[in-house]
Amino acid sequence: MKTSSGISHVLVIATHTHSAPVIGDEENKASSWERETLDKVSKAILAAHQQAVEAQLGVGYGSVDAGYNRRTMRAGGKVEMIWENPQRRHMGPVDRTVAVLRIDDKQGRPIAILINHALHPVVFGVRGFLTRPISSAR
């Protein structure tokens, strides 16, 4: 892709999910879903490259109370999972930092906004719905 597109730098950001199809570890064993997804990602990168404009970056940091540590240390060093915490008791370290990267065009209009926060929402939860870390975000 780099050679055919003329793109000299690509930034790859990764995450994970508990609810998407499994992606093969070997390229030749890729499923049709995986091949289609990779094709769409490639097309999106090329479209973004073709529509590139001069831009300015802005960055800011803040704090958010949107989750809790689901693991707590018990006596004797045993770690226990706490699946629900409606009282939002402090049970362990949590990174509350939120970083915001805003990309504006030359006229100051937003092109994109990227928000980064170390949060691990569990989509299905123990009862089959969004668990409190994301649904209680304020």
- What is the distance between the terminal CA atoms of the chain, rounded to a whole angstrom? 41
Question: Nearest-CA neighbor of 124 among 11, 25, 5, 19?
Answer: 19
- Per-residue pLDDT, averaged over 29-41, amounts to 83
Report the pLDDT value the prediction gives residue 62, as an integer from 0 to 100. Answer: 95
Taking the mean position of all CA atoms in its chain, how far away is CA 102?
16
| Identity of the residue numbered 101 | L
R_g of the chain computed on alpha carbons:
20
Q: Which residue has the higher pLDDT, 57 or 48?
A: 57
pLDDT score of 88 more than 70: yes
Range in 29-33, 41-45, 54-58, 93-97 the model is least confident about = 29-33
Report the pLDDT value the prediction gives residue 98, as an integer from 0 to 100. Answer: 92
Please state the φ and ψ torsions of residue 38, each to the nearest 5 degrees: -60, -35
- Per-residue pLDDT, averaged over 30-41, amounts to 84
pLDDT score of 10 more than 90: no
Report the pLDDT value the prediction gives residue 116, as an integer from 0 to 100. Answer: 86
Report the pLDDT value the prediction gives residue 127, as an integer from 0 to 100. Answer: 57
pLDDT score of 107 more than 90: yes
What predicted TM-score, i.e. pTM, was given to this entire model?
0.64
